[in-house]
Structure 1
């Protein structure tokens, strides 16, 4: 019998997933101590693994000095390929988890600050009830950072407000979240039961600071994104700050329905009216990588999120909180 391996030459070196994880951690942090801490190993263990990887591949992956460590050109390229391999390995495990029970195992979920405080209190009790084996790890950050983490495999899915530039992802809409105009009761807009975008053209519009996607969504809803932006000198870091500024007579702001329904403006001397228009709000969606093996998990999760928002609308209606229902 012919042994085929005799004609294939020596076995090719293949790095381990552990080595690749160490490589990515060091490329990201550029510090042996910090990378070792992130990987929950000693610095000497990580350093030895990187050295073994370099010897096996026959290239120098990092330039080292007494004061710094930085990936070489080939180190950067290999680290990027290592990220892809690690994501694919995680997707393989996710397929096995989803086959057993879609709503089980760890799930790293990102959420933006203008959604998290208003949606999560509604949905987390329900998730604990129907999916006790789902281990949910939450991360709240602005949209751009969550998208980066999703693409890098650091998150499994994210709850975002669309439209957002995304590539190679799938999504499922959860709800349309209309905007409300919030102003002091003595303001000229307070006499209007429904505010039109043209009514906002001359107003000092209080907005969130740059980096929050709600800022651009609010401008788009008022048709101000390409025109003169008549915004006040003050910008808020949160929706809570914006409604407080409006209550103090500093201007007018736009607040999404889920925040109003959660009682954001309760107890403040403010007038709240729906914003009219063809697209007077933002689309809320659950987004995940197209290559993920947990698509059924995300579809079921989207359904749970959707039901939680609908239940919140019903409770808001019972408390006589105004809820805008677009015509049609």
Structure 2
């Protein structure tokens, strides 16, 4: 009988196949780069086959066989992980570990009520939480290190099955003496000539803010402009920068209701004039045997939607 690859070896190979970078693949697998490299080399020796083309320098290039084995490995790993999950789901739904990923522009404002719901309504779930950017969370979901994600859509979430929960409207935050403060609502067109403070690259809220700004026909900003746009590492930093008069920002209602502006000389006004919201939703691996559990959790989490921002067609 031929020796079978281990689940860990398959995880290493799949992560490298998806990310095409040894360092990022190792980080996604929570191991050192040397450990990941050694694991893949051991798999090559075990299969007596070359999976990576090492004649192309530092680039990660799979051989045709390596690409095919990575595809088959993903199918095999998904099937292997489904075995205990199916047993647990059939025996007692909504029990066992739940490894939840949350993005930074949601986590500080939603983790506490999420934990409360899980503890009170689903006490048999053992919860762990990881906060990271959407891209990195999707990578960890894909290799089985996370079970479910709390996301802000639209996002590049094609690798996950997603379920929208509610709309989270965008507001403009500005210094109290800003000219736009006189308005009850700020039309998106009024952002055209404003100095914007946005989240730094890697945060989906940056892309969502840029999409909102582009609705104003005269707005010509780009992701690369550094003279008129400041970048913030968090929503709290954005509020501080706005309070210092460095510009204005786009902030989701979830953060505002969480008291993020408290202590800052900053006010908010709703945006108007087009799709001026993000959608809070859940994501999980397609065809997961726990999909029914995740849909039940989605129904429970929907009760956290702030009024009046339900999901609308």
TM bin (shorter chain): 0.7 to 0.9
Contact 1:103-1:131 at 8 Å conserved across structures:
yes
Alpha-carbon distance change, 72 to 168 in structure 1, aligned in 2, over 3 angstroms? closer
TM-score, normalization by structure 2 = 0.79
Please name the residue that 1:228 is paired with.
220
Deviations 1:151-200 (A, max 9, x none): 33332221111112333532211110001111011100110111110111
**Structure 1 length-normalised TM:** 0.76
Q: Which digits, 9 at most, give the CA deviation of each residue in 1:74-109, with x for residues without a partner? A: 556534532331122112322222222332111222
CA 1:54–1:237 in 2, change beyond 3 Å: closer, same or farther? closer
Q: Counterpart in 2 of 1:165?
A: 156
Gap regions ≥5 residues in structure 1: 1-10, 65-69, 314-322
1:111 aligns with 2:72: no
Counterparts in 2 of 1:195 and 1:233: CA distance versus 1, 3 Å: closer
Unaligned residue ranges in structure 2 (runs of 5+) = 55-59
Judging changes above 3 Å, is the alpha-carbon distance between structure 1 residues 72 and 270 closer, same or farther for their aligned structure 2 residues?
A: closer
Tell me, in whole angstroms, the C-alpha distance in 2 between the residues paired with 1:87 and 1:327.
34
Secondary structure at 2:214's aligned position in 1?
coil
Write out aligned runs for 1:211-290 (5 A). 211-224=202-215, 227-229=219-221, 232-290=228-286
Structure 2 contact 199–238 (Cα < 8 Å) conserved: yes
- 1:297–1:48 CA distance, 2 compared to 1 (3 A): closer
Tell me the equivalent position of 2:57. Answer: none
Matches within 5 A, 1:1-328: 11=1, 13=2, 15=4, 19-22=6-9, 24-25=11-12, 57-59=47-49, 73=63, 74=65, 77-167=68-158, 169-224=160-215, 227-229=219-221, 232-310=228-306, 313=307
| Distance in 2 between residues matched to 1:286 and 1:272, nearest whole Å | 27
Q: How many residue pairs align between the two structures?
A: 292
Shift of 1:136: 1.9
